[in-house]
Amino acid sequence: MATELTRDKAFFAFSPDVAPVIRVQQGEEIVIQTHDCFSGQLKTSADTLETLDWSITNPATGPIFIEGTKPGDVLRVDLLEVKATGPSVMVTVPGVGGMGEMITEMETTILTHTEDTVIFKDLIEVKQKPMLGVIGVAPAEGEIPNSTPGGHGGNMDCTLVTTGASLYFTVVAEAAKIGCGDMHAAMGDGEVVICGAETPGVARLTTQVVQIPGLPTPFIENDEVVAVISSAETVDEAYKDALARMLGFLSDIAGLPLNDAAMLMSLVGNLKFCQIVDPLMTVRFEFPKDVLAKYGYSLPR
Amino acid sequence: MATELTRDKAFFAFSPDVAPVIRVQQGEEIVIQTHDCFSGQLKTSADTLETLDWSITNPATGPIFIEGTKPGDVLRVDLLEVKATGPSVMVTVPGVGGMGEMITEMETTILTHTEDTVIFKDLIEVKQKPMLGVIGVAPAEGEIPNSTPGGHGGNMDCTLVTTGASLYFTVVAEAAKIGCGDMHAAMGDGEVVICGAETPGVARLTTQVVQIPGLPTPFIENDEVVAVISSAETVDEAYKDALARMLGFLSDIAGLPLNDAAMLMSLVGNLKFCQIVDPLMTVRFEFPKDVLAKYGYSLPR
């Protein structure tokens, strides 16, 4: 019997000071409703950002108190399902996003959903690949707005954060206090206009403390790859951090000879953009799991 | 009957002042042998960069005089085949590349080839996807070392530059003076250690002037996507340039409404790294051709 969390249980900044809305055991399945990033305020194309209540944007559902976790633990979050319930919304805003200086008119567009696609302006049908833009743990102190990515996770807008993926965070606040939201029914790497197909949805997940000392978090894996996720003020800083952390993981944890790790990162690894529109920029470095297996390494389950 | 060009016909900088080694008609098939980026100097693991003759690194084969081209023309280069002949070589160099400060030992590794894979240290078999790291046209004046990417093409290290792709350049010097080299049998996005599987090879291509005024070059297409390629001193500058140029292409040339173009770039477009290890950094922005078709646009053939 899964524990359910409704989307009215929203918070707006990751912080150890936000009271948990629920306590769960490790391994316990949690079904989490999420708002879209506008808390559902944009219902038609007539609803623009000019009339938005900004105080309730970027909601995440939670925080969730994970029993038996303590600072220093590595917590694995298994995404059993990430499901968009729709409809989705997209916007343009002059001056905002990666092409903001070229955008002249504010616009809101509602995308209808079929079972497995979203439809843009009755013309373009796009296969759904629902992902959580925001997911993370509370920092040790202070508060980090949900709009912002970082070492705690947060607004990473990483397209790998979808059904079947496992995310790893380092617990720093008591009981982890995880939360998630900002689901996108579909989105390209970069999120360049400022949004994906912003949708309400439901995420099913479980959590588990794992023994992987030194794992560079946030870290993510799916069936094909492992990846480090890095955020910084510039893309240039973020990618350097991602490369250093992946090379450290491959050599220090997975046990590859340093030069093998570095050359294979170049040969079969991929440096990728997550987003370039949040207060910090986010990139990831992906490395294939079948290559790790050839060196006799797999992440402990 | 194709025109053949052997790999001894090498040049080391794109320049209008380098004499063409061959003259061809538009539409004429050219078969171009290419050296690896070390001009074949690294034959065994005992051959390191310490003993390298650096004056003959980064060779490109050419330049090729294309009859009937003039400054201002957009020249399409159709890559009929990009074939690695092997063996490949990879290196690590302390202080060099995306993780240079973590690399402590210089190493050279020879990768053997099967028909469609390369094999790293008898352990990791990687599917070949041969690509040309360097391809471009001469600039209007001066010279640009083959190591460097830019508006003329050059060392873009873009994994899309493979069999079946069409590249577009703006002709600025007399007769285009194209050349290519630096083939990689396989490489991930980023080329993060400083090299892919560096291989000699053979490229078969044809050229054609096309009427697409204002096309943001270098531009590339394959069966699935069109992409702009941008290089700059930082990744942050390069991605901003790529976004602006793709939005300009979509709205001014392909005829999408500006806001549709911007939102679809975010929904179904992808911002991607090419390389972060050359004198300038290179990124690309990919946009799906089937979406262009829904708006009634396809590139003229």
Which DSSP string do the residues of B162-194 spell out, in sequence order? BTT-EEEEE--STTEEEEEEEEESS--TB-TTS
Confidence of residue B299 (pLDDT cuts 50, 70, 90): very high
- Strand B60-66 versus strand B22-24 pairing type: parallel
Please compute the mean of the pLDDT values over residues B39-67 and round it to a whole number: 94
Neighbour-count burial of A293, counting CB atoms closer than 10 A to its CB (0-12 exposed, 13-18 middle, 19+ buried) = exposed
Question: Which residues in B lie closer than 8 A to residue A281 (C-beta atoms)?
Answer: 236
Answer yes or no: are the C-beta atoms of A14 and A136 closer than 8 Å: yes
pTM beyond 0.95: yes
- Whether residue B123 lies within 8 A of chain A, CB to CB, comes out as yes
Q: Residue B241: which region, alpha, beta or left (left: phi > 0; alpha: psi -120 to 50)?
A: alpha
Subunit contact A97:B262, Cβ cutoff 8 A = yes
Structure tokens at A69: 């976790």
Provide the pLDDT for residue B39: 97
Task: Tell me the three state secondary structure of residue B267.
Answer: helix
Provide the pLDDT for residue B49: 85
What is the DSSP code string of B227-253? EEEEEESSHHHHHHHHHHHHHHIIIII
Provide the pLDDT for residue A1: 67
Task: Tell me the three state secondary structure of residue A281.
Answer: strand
Confidence of residue B121 (pLDDT cuts 50, 70, 90): very high
Answer yes or no: are the C-beta atoms of A239 and A230 closer than 8 Å: yes
Give B218's DSSP letter.
S
Nearest to A270 among B190, B248, B271 (CB): B190
Find the helix or strand (DSSP H, E) in which A22 lies.
strand A22-24
Task: Compute the CA torsion angle A221, A224, A229, A235 (nearest 10 deg).
Answer: -170
Please provide the distance, in angstroms rounded to a whole number, between the alpha carbons at the two ends of chain A.
23
Q: B274 φ, ψ to 5°?
A: -100, -65
Any residues with CB less than 8 A from the CB of B218 and at least 6 apart, and which?
Answer: B136, B151, B152, B153, B156, B167, B168, B169, B228, B229
Based on its alpha-carbon atoms, the radius of gyration of chain A, rounded to whole angstroms, reads: 19
Average pLDDT over chain A, rounded to an integer? 97
Provide the pLDDT for residue A260: 98
Length of chain B: 301
Cis peptide before B87 (omega within 30 of 0): yes
Provide the pLDDT for residue B51: 85
B1: pLDDT strictly greater than 80: no
Please compute the mean of the pLDDT values over residues B54-60 and round it to a whole number: 95
- Whether residue B263 lies within 8 A of chain A, CB to CB, comes out as yes
Please indicate whether residue A51 or residue B183 has the higher confidence score (pLDDT): B183
Please compute the mean of the pLDDT values over residues A112-131 and round it to a whole number: 98
Smallest Cα–Cα separation from A219: which of A144, A293, A168, A261? A168
B71: pLDDT strictly greater than 90: yes
Which residue reads 């100097």 in tokens? Answer: B41
Please compute the mean of the pLDDT values over residues A38-44 and round it to a whole number: 96
Provide the pLDDT for residue A2: 85
Tens-place pLDDT, residues A206-217: 999 999 999 999
B29: pLDDT strictly greater than 90: yes
- Whether residue B210 lies within 8 A of chain A, CB to CB, comes out as no
- Whether residue B267 lies within 8 A of chain A, CB to CB, comes out as yes
Answer yes or no: are the C-beta atoms of A298 and A292 closer than 8 Å: yes
Using the Cα atoms of residue A136, residue A137, residue A138 and residue A139 in order, give the sign of their dihedral.
Answer: negative
Tens-place pLDDT, residues B165-219: 999 999 999 999 999 999 999 999 999 999 999 999 999 999 999 999 999 999 9
Q: Say how many C-beta atoms besides its own lie within 10 A of residue A60's C-beta.
A: 30
Question: Which residues in B lie closer than 8 A to residue A273 (C-beta atoms)?
Answer: 239, 270-273
**A264 min Cα distance to partner chain B (Å):** 8
Q: What percent of chain B has a predicted confidence (pLDDT) above 90?
A: 97
Smallest Cα–Cα separation from B272: which of A159, A244, A182? A159
- B-contacting residues of A 228-247, CB under 8 Å? 234-236, 239-240, 243-244, 247
Provide the pLDDT for residue A50: 85
Confidence of residue B50 (pLDDT cuts 50, 70, 90): confident
Using the Cα atoms of residue B145, residue B148, residue B150 and residue B153 in order, give the sign of their dihedral.
Answer: positive
Average pLDDT over chain B, rounded to an integer? 97
Exposure letters B120-132 (e unless 16+ CB within 10 A, then b): bbeebbbebbbbb
Residue B259, amino acid: N
Which residue reads 């946009």 in tokens? Answer: B287
- A-contacting residues of B 72-111, CB under 8 Å? 90-92, 97-99, 102-105, 107, 109
Instruction: Please report the ipTM that was assigned to this predicted complex.
Output: 0.98
- A-contacting residues of B 15-74, CB under 8 Å? none
Task: Compute the CA torsion angle A36, A37, A40, A41 (nearest 10 deg).
Answer: -160
Please compute the mean of the pLDDT values over residues B77-84 and round it to a whole number: 98
Question: Which residues in A lie closer than 8 A to residue B88 (C-beta atoms)?
Answer: none
Question: Which residues in A lie closer than 8 A to residue B102 (C-beta atoms)?
Answer: 244, 247-248, 258, 262
- Whether residue B160 lies within 8 A of chain A, CB to CB, comes out as no
